Every structure is written in C-alpha cells, then in structure tokens.
Structure 1
Amino acid sequence: MTHKLLFLFGGIFFITLVLSYYKETYTNQDIIQILDISYVKAFLLKDTDHYVKNMSSADLYARHANNHKDYLKRISEDVTTIPLDKQSILMNSISQANDFFNNYSDSYIKLGEMNLIPWKLAFTKGYYENGLPHTRMDIIFLPQSILNESNYSITKTLIHEKVHLHQRKYKMRYQQKLQEENYKIIGKRINDYRIRSNPDVDEYIYYHPNNFIMIETYSTLTPKNIQDTQIVDIDVKYEHPYEEIAYQVAEKYSV
C-alpha cells in the first residue's frame, strides 16, 4: 500500500513539473504578437483610450496636425510592419528582456509577474508620436528604425515599455505604493494645457518626495515638435513617477 501511495504521489509530482515547465515556456516565449497593419490602423482610428481626443491645441501643433481628426488619419497611415529578416533581431531582444524579468522583482513588481503580460507589438514609420516608443492600452508601439539599434538598446527599450504595461495593469498598486513613498497628487494633467501628452502615464500631476513638481511642458504654445519641451529637472525621467520607475528598472538591465 505504501509503495502504491509513493508511486501515486510521485506521478502527481512529475505531472506537476511537466505542466509547470510548459506553462513557463508558453508564458515566456510564445505570447508574442507582431500586430497586423489593418488591426493597428483600426485600433488607432478608434482611439478607445481617448489619447488623441484629449490632446490640447499645443499637442496637435507639435504633431503638425490640423485637428484631432487629421492626426488620427495621419497616424493610421504611418502604421507599418517589419520584414521577416528583421524579426530575428526583435525576437532576440524579447528573449533577453524575458530573461531579465524572470529574475526581477521590486516593491511594485512581483517575481515572474512581468512575463504574464503578453508582448503585443505595433510598428510605425516614425511620424506617429515623433517615433518615440510608447504604449497604448496593452500594445507597445515602436518605430521601425529601432531595429537598426544595438540589441542592448532595443532590449532596454522593451523593458522600459513593458514596465508601462505593468503600471497600467496594476494601477491601484502603483498609486498605493507611490503614496507610501510620499509622492503626492496635486492635480490632473488634462487641466494644464502646457503639459505634453504622454500615453505611458496616468492622469495625475505628482509632487516628488524631493520637493519638485513632476511635469514636462511645451517650451511654447507653438512647439516645433513633441520634443520641444522643458522639464522641471534636467533628467527626463522626472516627467512622471511612471517614467522614473520605468527608467530605473531598465537601467538595471546589463549584458
């Protein structure tokens, strides 16, 4: 009887190990989507998150758009994909990012949590948001030109942007932790027309524990582009707590 029980428990343990292996393999490697051009175009035109709808006149001027409708049309036409011979570059960087996240945790991110978030990637020619990598809902947007950068640089960008996906998914956790760390909400970004719109951050303006307001504003109401800005500190990471955290996590990646 004892031998039968040992055999039974041994079998259960083996099956559990096998299932755990396949679950981890699927989580870390197989949830990767390079989104179809038509899907991304429809996503942008729909503007479900109201990112474009909430842009100020300075935002539109910086993006060389006449109005919200014009910008939606322009960005939908900017969508592209990547050639097959470049996909291996992307996959290699994703693999490196997955390896990093497999062993990463902090007060905001639980161990193994990042690799439960799928990679959904969209590519543009470079007009949309001036080619700056960013996220919208559960999608990471990248300029096609990023594949000309080093593997190290691409991987750091992917890590940074995936942290933004995590921030969106666990918004309440971040707000609670930020409050515990003495970041103070002092207003809403939408109420200040000078602030450059950024899809990677939440709706609030924060006061940093080191006593400064975390905002990035346009240098003028007629900015040359979306990088024609001024920031409260010399370091761009202080635009918002989400950016500060994403930069800090990505900086911990090393080859």
Structure 2
Amino acid sequence: MIVAFSGNKEKFTDIDNIYMTAEETINFIRNDTDRYITNLTEYDLTARDSKSPSEYINKVINECYNFTEEHKKRLNVCSIIAKKYFDNGYNWKFALIGDIYEEGFPHTRADIIFLSPKIVNYDDDALITVLIHESIHIYQRYNKDINKYLKENGYTISRRRDSELLIRANPDLDEYIYKDRNGNELFYKYKSTMPTGINDIIPAINEHPFEIMAYKISEDYGKLKLSKYKNI
C-alpha cells in the first residue's frame, strides 16, 4: 500500500527539513506552550523520576542538542524516501534530545518531531519507518479529516483522558479515550501508582486509534520493503 496525503506536489528537497538548534529546543520545552509537561499527572512524573513539571523540564533541557551535519544528511536522505510513501503536506521540523526526555522515545509536539541520536543512527529502513510514524502524528494533529478515518474504522469518543486516574501521557494523542466498534476502550495505563518508567504499564492489545493508524501505515512500509525479496 502506498499512501500519500499531500497538499504540496512540488519536488521534495533537503531544504524542506527544519533542524532546530539546541537553544530553540530548550526554549520550546521550557515554554511548554502546548502544556504537555504542565499537564503530566503525579504518576506520569513518578514514571519520569520527577516530583514536579519544573524539575522534569530542568532535567530535560540539559540534554538538548544541535544536529551534526551527518545527522542532517541521514535525515535528509531518509525523509525523501519516507515522504514518497507518506507525505503529510508539511515541512518536517526536527529536534534532537537525549534519553531523559520521554526516555528518548521518538514523539511529536506541535509540528516538531523529537528524535534522539540513537534513533537517528538506526539503519535506513528503521529510521524511515520512524519518520513515517511520527509524520502521521503531525498529520493527525492538524487535519480535521482524521475524523473521517475514526468514523470509518468504528472509533467513537468514550470520555476525556484525564478522567482515567492512571492513564499514561502520550504527546502524540488528543485529549480523548476512544472505544472500538466492540465497545472496548483503547488506552494504556500504569500498573500502579508508582510506575518505574514510561513503559511500566498494563499490557493491552490496542492503544489510542491515532497510534493504531500510525503503526499500521508505517508497518505497511516495512511489509512493502520485504515483499521485494519474497521470491528470491
């Protein structure tokens, strides 16, 4: 399956990518304009080994980095391939962070894709898959036609996420818990009130439909790559 949600038919070039400096990344995290860190629950903060949003911010900003030219070269090459598979219609903006911030997991906030050096150094196919996944989250955030996807796939709003005590924060999601067509609520929650990390959660089949969509499309890229070799 080739997917292209594109509002821009011009040829993609390396200058389309925006690379935030360490200072710009620090300012974004410190200002917290989307209130992601401010809205972390006490259990989210415990999972991040912090007692307050300000403590977490102060830890995180010590691990904001500038991209090297080699980083930019790799991301430029992989972005071209990823955008041919899924073009979300936006220039891609990247920030480079360490392993303290969200344990180094790739994620998005506003129109920014946050990556760690470890992720940038993935092999090409793995990095392309990550870029597709995260660019889908940007698309979801800014395109109202995501509601069509939710409706067509039988997802309906159940309640607000902040109504669930131990729900795990995820910056890639909206503010709602959804139900599937069988009435099952879709979310991840911590195992206890003292989570030891972001992934100290109760195993579940599915999370939020935004994640289901992002995994489905990005994993289809991997299947497409593998299909080239099935008859060898």
TM over 0.5: yes
Taking structure 1 as reference, are residues 212 and 156 closer, same or farther at Cα in structure 2, changes over 3 Å only? same
Partner of 1:199: 171
2:18 equivalent to 1:33: yes
Unaligned runs of 5+ in 1: 1-21, 102-112
Distance (whole Å) between structure 1 residues aligned to residue 74 and residue 14 of structure 2: 15
Which residue identity is paired with 1:92? Answer: V
Identical amino acids, percent of aligned pairs: 31
CA contact (8 A) 1:126 1:144 kept: no
Q: 1:176 to 1:86 in 2, by over 3 A?
A: closer
Do 1:185 and 1:204's aligned partners in 2 also have CA atoms closer than 8 Å?
yes
Which segments of 5 or more consecutive residues in structure 2 lack a partner in the other structure? 1-7, 226-232
Choose the corresponding residue for 1:220, options 192, 202, 212.
Answer: 192
- CA shift for structure 1 position 206: 0.5
Give 1:23 deviation, angstroms.
Answer: 6.5
The separation in 1 between residues aligned to 2:48 and 2:55, in whole angstroms, is: 10
SS in 2 for 1:229: coil
TM-score of the superposed pair, with normalisation by structure 1: 0.80
- The structural deviation recorded for 1:83 is 2.2
CA contact (8 A) 1:28 1:98 kept: no
Q: Does 1:246 align with 2:196?
A: no
Letter in 2 for 1:244: I
1:183 corresponds to which of 151, 155, 162 = 155
Aligned-pair distance for 1:210? Answer: 3.8
- Map residues 45-64 of structure 1 onto 2, 5 A cutoff: 45-64=30-49
Pair 1:173–1:231, CA change in 2 (3 A): farther
Q: Does the 8 Å CA contact 1:54/1:190 hold for their aligned counterparts?
A: no
Corresponding residue for residue 84 of structure 1: 69
Give the alignment's TM-score, normalised by structure 2. 0.87
Partner of 1:245, secondary structure, is: helix
Amino acid at match of 2:38: K
| Deviation at residue 118 of structure 1 after TM alignment | 0.7
Alignment of 1:117-196 (within 5 A): 117-170=90-143, 172-196=144-168
- Is 2:200 the counterpart of 1:232? no
Counterpart residue identity of residue 47, structure 1: D
How many angstroms apart in 1 are the aligned matches of 2:74 and 2:214? 23
CA distance in 2, matches of 1:33, 1:56: 31
CA distances 1:158-180 after superposition (whole Å, capped 9, x unpaired): 0000000000011x322343134
CA contact (8 A) 2:42 2:51 kept: no
Equivalent residues of 1:63, 1:225 under 8 A apart: yes
Q: State how far apart, in whole Å, the 2-side matches of 1:147 and 1:36 are.
A: 16
Matched to 2:153, the amino acid is: E
- Residues 60-71 of structure 1 aligned to structure 2 (within 5 Å): 60-71=45-56
Q: CA deviation at 1:29?
A: 4.1
1:75–1:128 contact (8 Å) kept in structure 2 = yes
Separation of aligned partners in 2, 1:75 and 1:220: 24
Give the aligned residue type for 2:198: I
Name the SS for the 2:18 alignment partner: strand
The Cα shift of 1:57 comes to 0.4
By relative contact order (CA 8 Å, sep 6+), the higher-ranking structure is 2
CA distance in 2, matches of 1:100, 1:79: 29
Change (3 A) 1:209 1:23: closer
CA RMSD of aligned residues (A): 1.7
Q: State the one-letter code of the partner of 2:69.
A: L
1:150-206 alpha-carbon deviations (Å, 9 max, x no partner): 100000000000000000011x32234313432121110012121000000110001
